[in-house]
Amino acid sequence: MPRIPLTMPKMSMTMEFGTVVEWLIQPGDTIRDGDAIVVVTTDKVDMDVEATGAGTLAEIIAEAGVQVPVGQPIAWIESATDDLLVDLFDAPAPAGVDTKTSAPVPDATAPAPDEAPLATLGTVRAVPLARKLAAAAGLSLAGIAPSGPSNTIRARDVRAALANRSQASAVPFAPGVPTPTAAVTASPRTTPSTVAPVAVVAGTGGASAPRVSAEGADLLGDAKTRRMRVATARVLESSALIPQFTAWRTFDLSRLAKARKVSLKGVSWTTLLLRAYALTLREYPQLNGFWAGEGTRPNAHVGIALAVDTPTGLVAPVLLDPDKMSMTSLDAAIKTIAGNAKAGTIDPDSLSGGTGTLSNLGSLGVDRFNAMLTPPQATALSLGTVGTRPVFDADCAIRAQTVCEGGLTLDHRAADGADGARAMQTIQDFLDDPLALLA
């Protein structure tokens, strides 16, 4: 019987290696084309790898914890068919079902639809892991949009549906403003004074996943958390080699606070501040570029990596050209990527393309901190708590002013401190003019 290799897939543009996390089946188990049989990781994201043919898992080459180059075999599948695209997803037709019409045939002894196994409801197709996840969460497969071949529901589809179901409790935070949902912040596992957002960016070099030590019994956290810390440590090590300068400023948000009560009602502070940052980078090619050894090379797009705190560590998914999106679309996009990051369903490709990072510890009561750069990005904007302070106006009367402490860290090779100061003023100009922010 011929053998088909199951290879390490390329799950993102920058991926060169992957690490086997968990085998979902064992040698000798029967599989179908498209079944999820192993979980692999690349730095930040765990993904299901699906069988490329129907048959039997003959041999596992790479055990859990082993790092494998993209395209190299991690297992062998014995298959009796040369047609690897044959549709073998359909489960045997249950009693009382007409296979030609898929319509139930009345049968007094057949169980009620809500008592039938998920795999036998109508013509819904799903890989075994997807059925398992849906059953555990009490989620009906009928309402899940399939992404697999022949309209087959994959495990990632179930996870996405679960993330969407919990969107009401996964909106990004408004710094300093209480919300009923989780906050989108930098990871509290970093030190209070420094945050090192981790976003996989094309062109960084050395994009291979960290090697996982089998001797981790005396280390804190589970295997996935340790992998995340290793990835963060790698970025910190490269970031430490860059001469960095941070310009601080207290942003006046008074006008924007008034607009949030009327025309921008419901839009989070994160969305507004991220947009102002993106608009500013668009105006300063030096700050939106990256150091190329003999000068600063510009980026054709603006990509803001938003630091999101997840149960296993910091993830920084990228919003491409957020200054070109409508405010409502941007607000919705931020909620979606934050929810996906927390649920562990983030698309690996969304971790690349960042030209700057936005990090916020405001919801944790931090007023000011120094965000470190994520190479090769030239800037990182840190934001503290949004609050009020008393100030004197032109008539020497005391009034309340809505403020937020911001720090713009920049690569001193790509730009000077004065460039950072001018950029901070530009951010303030956008915050002073809600109409310009909306344009």
Q: Give me the mean pLDDT over the 248-266 stretch.
A: 91
Cβ neighbours for 223, distance < 8 A, ≥ 6 positions apart? 21, 65, 212, 216
347-374 pLDDT, tens per residue? 888 888 999 999 998 888 899 999 999 9
* Interstrand relation of 398-411 and 379-383 (parallel, antiparallel or unpaired): antiparallel
Which of 373, 382, 360 is closest to 415 using CA atoms?
373
Task: Indicate whether 143 pLDDT > 60.
Answer: yes
pLDDT, position 393:
82
> Same domain, yes or no, for 267 and 329?
yes
Of 235-239, 331-335, 410-414, which gets the smallest average pLDDT? 235-239
pLDDT, position 329:
94
**What CATH number did the domain enclosing 311 receive?**
3.30.559.10
Q: Considering 148, 165, 182, which residue would you say is the last residue of a domain? A: 165
Question: What is the rounded CA–CA span in Å between residue 307 and residue 360?
Answer: 7
Question: What is the rounded CA–CA span in Å between residue 197 and residue 234?
Answer: 11
Q: Give me the mean pLDDT over the 408-425 stretch.
A: 95
> Same domain, yes or no, for 226 and 150?
no
pLDDT, position 150:
59
261-273 pLDDT, tens per residue? 888 888 999 999 9
Task: Indicate whether 84 pLDDT > 60.
Answer: no
> Same domain, yes or no, for 234 and 377?
yes
Percentage of the chain beyond pLDDT 90 is 32
168-224 pLDDT, tens per residue? 444 443 333 333 333 333 333 333 333 334 333 333 333 344 444 445 557 787 776
Task: Indicate whether 64 pLDDT > 70.
Answer: yes
231 or 202: whose pLDDT is higher?
231
> Same domain, yes or no, for 388 and 284?
yes
pLDDT, position 33:
74
Task: Indicate whether 43 pLDDT > 70.
Answer: no
> Does the residue 180 lie in any domain?
no
pLDDT range class, residue 250, cuts 50, 70, 90: very high
Peptide bond into 146 cis (omega under 30): no
> Does the residue 181 lie in any domain?
no
The model's pTM is 0.58
Highest mean pLDDT among 34-38, 138-142, 344-348, 354-358: 354-358
> Does the residue 352 lie in any domain?
yes
Task: Indicate whether 283 pLDDT > 90.
Answer: yes
> Does the residue 183 lie in any domain?
no
Residue type at position 204: T
251 or 124: whose pLDDT is higher?
251
82 or 339: whose pLDDT is higher?
339
Cβ neighbours for 410, distance < 8 A, ≥ 6 positions apart? 244, 245, 246, 247, 287, 373, 378, 379, 417, 419, 420, 423
> Same domain, yes or no, for 301 and 375?
yes
> Does the residue 176 lie in any domain?
no
Q: Give me the mean pLDDT over the 22-39 stretch.
A: 85
> Same domain, yes or no, for 146 and 261?
no
Task: Indicate whether 286 pLDDT > 90.
Answer: yes
> Same domain, yes or no, for 354 and 406?
yes
pLDDT range class, residue 113, cuts 50, 70, 90: very low
> Same domain, yes or no, for 120 and 256?
no
Q: Considering 119, 150, 165, which residue would you say is the last residue of a domain? A: 165
pLDDT range class, residue 101, cuts 50, 70, 90: very low
> Does the residue 204 lie in any domain?
yes
Q: Considering 144, 165, 186, which residue would you say is the last residue of a domain? A: 165
Give residue for tokens 């039997």. Answer: 56
Number of domains in the chain: 2
254 or 211: whose pLDDT is higher?
254
Domain range for residue 410? 194-438
> Does the residue 404 lie in any domain?
yes
> Same domain, yes or no, for 284 and 361?
yes
> Same domain, yes or no, for 265 and 402?
yes
15 or 291: whose pLDDT is higher?
291
155 or 380: whose pLDDT is higher?
380
> Same domain, yes or no, for 250 and 381?
yes
300-319 pLDDT, tens per residue? 999 999 999 888 788 899 99
Q: Give me the mean pLDDT over the 151-160 stretch.
A: 78
> Same domain, yes or no, for 198 and 161?
no
> Does the residue 178 lie in any domain?
no
pLDDT range class, residue 22, cuts 50, 70, 90: confident
pLDDT range class, residue 7, cuts 50, 70, 90: confident
* Gyration radius of the chain's alpha carbons: 25
Q: What's the mean per-residue pLDDT of the chain?
A: 77
**What CATH number did the domain enclosing 51 receive?**
2.40.50.100
